Chains A and B, each alone.
Chain A
Amino acid sequence: MKDGVSQPVIEAKGVNLVFQTADGPVQALKDVNLTVNRGDFVSFIGPSGCGKTTFLRAIAALEHPTGGTLTVNGMSPDEARRKRAYGYVFQAAGLYPWRTIAGNIRLPLEIMGFSKAEQDERTERVLDLVELKGFGKKFPWQLSGGMQQRASIARALAFDADILLMDEPFGALDEIVRDRLNEEVLKLWARTGKTIGFVTHSIPEAVYLSTKIVVMSPRPGRITDVIDSPLPKDRPLDIRDSREFIEIAHRVREGLRAGHHED
């Protein structure tokens, strides 16, 4: 990640996505244009139904746009997925209960054909990274929700994809755990220099974490504002009381409200 040199990792040009449902077509994304550069921390924020999750899933090739172009590392999302370009963290941990924590983290490595020794080495490293050292032999259901979610982040990190996509990863956790995990995600981002796409509906979370905040609004899902955050990269938790922070949060709130009025 070199300053001033922008390398686009994700590029969306006029992306449309229409779901065919039993009640007729639903426009989930309308004319979405966005460029995400290497090393960006991008948050997608908006009310439910604004297409933020759909857009993230489209980047991961879990949904397919019905119009426009979407490229990841200059490839189609499907190609990028086959090249294992991203780790995806879902709203719930989604750990496989028949595997231990270490076994879960090893699973993508097994699928991608890493050697046994490398599987062990990488599993140890990411367990350490998310501060779950010593919990590798536990089963998911023996751990708290916060620890499970940390394990799922470790799993997404294990194969060292350049892009980390997180869909409301801490949505189901309480405020205190959430604060701590947000701090950890920032540290992780600083240490690894990954490009992170992060879906949330919490304004403070979005402002605290991001270098770029994408404000979206529903029916049809579209981008109403893109805010490049002036906050420094090093962010202690109490930055949330600073004036810049409050100003950005205010702008995000305005953007959300504006989108709402257009309904």
Chain B
Amino acid sequence: MTALWLAIGFWLAAWAVNVWLAGSRLSRTGPGRALVPLLFGATVLVLWEGLVRGLGVAPVILPAPSVIAAKIAVELPTLWQDFAQTILKGAIPGFLIGAGAAFLTAIAIDRSPFLQRGLLPVGNFVAALPIVGLAPILVMWFGFDWQSKAAVVVVMVFFPILVNMVAGLQASERMQRDLMATWGASYWQGLFKLRLPAAMPFLFNGLKIASTLALIGAIVAEFFGSPVYGMGFRISTEVGRLGLDMVWATIAVAALAGSAFYGLITLIERGVTFWHPSQRH
């Protein structure tokens, strides 16, 4: 029971420190601003640890963070192998192929009203297919290895990026397009010098939404057949063996990978769309 009281004591103390931090001059400095969420995260972990220990929660229901951390330390080679299989081979290539295809399709659609009427509804239809139905089919088609996972990711990320990119290509103002016309610009000049730059904020919205979808797709697809490694495989088999600490360890890796991926896209976005009102500081 002492663990629980210690944890609650830490929570209250951290709370007080955060309140003080938010009001103090330190909160306007870089490290001060980083300290508040760090302290909050630490509090969640300490409280979690204290609750699990203090109340004697069964490890199958909720393992303590220390147990999960220990598991991560021990199983690092396995976790790395799973990460490489699911993220590096499944999610990222699938994301890149899907994003590239959506980008090119958006330009084709924009160029031709016929495709706009034909392709968008088809894309919409594919996006409406449930992933749990689609994944087994793609596993049958492309085999158990990462190729089928990448294919699922392609299908999942394609539509949100396509819709955003099509909207983005129409985002330039009429006056800006008229200017291009008065300069006698060709279609491609107008595309590269005006419409693509103007579409970038939209594209990055699509990419950010798709980044989380890519992770989900790659993991869930492994439930329907995979080699004997991969994050989805690990989760489904360890659940069956009640190895919940390993499930949590895998989830921790997935959360870190997802945040890093999202953060990377946000960073690139800031560089590319620095001119957009949402990015000007």
Residue contact B184 to A96, C-beta cutoff 8 Å: no
**Per a CB cutoff under 8 Å, which of B173, B183, B198, B273 touches A111?**
B183
Residue contact A62 to B178, C-beta cutoff 8 Å: yes
What is the total number of residues of chain B having a CB less than 8 Å from a CB of chain A? 23
Segment with Cβ contacts to B, from A81-89, A171-179, A213-221, A233-241: A81-89
Residue contact B275 to A84, C-beta cutoff 8 Å: no
Q: How far is the CB of B184 from chain A (nearest CB, A)?
A: 5
A247 to B8 alpha-carbon distance, docked (Å): 87
Q: Does A112 contact B (CB under 8 A)?
A: yes
Q: Does B182 contact A (CB under 8 A)?
A: yes
Residue contact A81 to B175, C-beta cutoff 8 Å: no
Q: How far is the CB of A218 from chain B (nearest CB, A)?
A: 22
Residue contact B178 to A88, C-beta cutoff 8 Å: yes
**Per a CB cutoff under 8 Å, which of A62, A96, A110, A159 touches B181?**
A62
Residue contact B280 to A141, C-beta cutoff 8 Å: yes
Residue contact A97 to B275, C-beta cutoff 8 Å: yes
- From known contacts A107-B193, A111-B189, infer whether A94 and B175 are also in contact, taking CB-CB under 8 Å: yes
Residue contact B178 to A96, C-beta cutoff 8 Å: no
- From known contacts A60-B182, A82-B184, infer whether A110 and B193 are also in contact, taking CB-CB under 8 Å: yes
Q: How far is the CB of A60 from chain B (nearest CB, A)?
A: 6
Residue contact A98 to B275, C-beta cutoff 8 Å: yes
- From known contacts A107-B193, A111-B184, A111-B185, infer whether A94 and B276 are also in contact, taking CB-CB under 8 Å: no
Set of chain A residues within 8 Å of B276, measured between Cβ atoms? 97
- From known contacts A107-B193, A139-B275, A141-B275, infer whether A81 and B181 are also in contact, taking CB-CB under 8 Å: yes
**Per a CB cutoff under 8 Å, which of A60, A111, A141 touches B193?**
A111
Q: How far is the CB of B276 from chain A (nearest CB, A)?
A: 7
A61 to B182 alpha-carbon distance, docked (Å): 8
- From known contacts A81-B182, A111-B189, infer whether A96 and B197 are also in contact, taking CB-CB under 8 Å: yes
Q: How far is the CB of B16 from chain A (nearest CB, A)?
A: 42
Q: Does A47 contact B (CB under 8 A)?
A: no
Set of chain B residues within 8 Å of A111, measured between Cβ atoms? 180, 183-185, 189, 193
Q: How far is the CB of A149 from chain B (nearest CB, A)?
A: 13
Q: How far is the CB of A61 from chain B (nearest CB, A)?
A: 8
A148 to B273 alpha-carbon distance, docked (Å): 20
Q: How far is the CB of B277 from chain A (nearest CB, A)?
A: 8
A112 to B180 alpha-carbon distance, docked (Å): 11
Set of chain A residues within 8 Å of B274, measured between Cβ atoms? 98
Number of A-B pairs, beta carbon distance below 8 Å: 55
Set of chain B residues within 8 Å of A139, measured between Cβ atoms? 275
A90 to B179 alpha-carbon distance, docked (Å): 9
Q: Does A108 contact B (CB under 8 A)?
A: yes
Set of chain A residues within 8 Å of B277, measured between Cβ atoms? 141
What is the total number of residues of chain A having a CB less than 8 Å from a CB of chain B? 25
A60 to B228 alpha-carbon distance, docked (Å): 67
Residue contact A96 to B176, C-beta cutoff 8 Å: yes
Set of chain B residues within 8 Å of A97, measured between Cβ atoms? 275-276
A62 to B178 alpha-carbon distance, docked (Å): 7
Q: Does A92 contact B (CB under 8 A)?
A: yes
A155 to B193 alpha-carbon distance, docked (Å): 15
Set of chain B residues within 8 Å of A112, measured between Cβ atoms? 183-184
B112-136 residues at the A interface, CB under 8 angstroms: none
Set of chain A residues within 8 Å of B67, measured between Cβ atoms? none
Q: Report the nearest B residue to A109, measured CB to CB.
A: B183
Set of chain A residues within 8 Å of B179, measured between Cβ atoms? 88, 90, 94
Residue contact B275 to A92, C-beta cutoff 8 Å: no
B139-190 residues at the A interface, CB under 8 angstroms: 173, 175-176, 178-185, 189
A134 to B59 alpha-carbon distance, docked (Å): 68
**Per a CB cutoff under 8 Å, which of B178, B183, B189, B280 touches A84?**
B183
Q: Mark A78-122, 1 if CB is under 8 A from B, else 0.
A: 000111101110111010111000000001101110000000000
Q: Report the nearest B residue to A104, measured CB to CB.
A: B179
Q: Does B194 contact A (CB under 8 A)?
A: yes
A159 to B275 alpha-carbon distance, docked (Å): 26
Q: Tell me which of A84, A92, A98, A107 has the highest count of chain B C-beta atoms within 10 A of its own C-beta.
A: A98
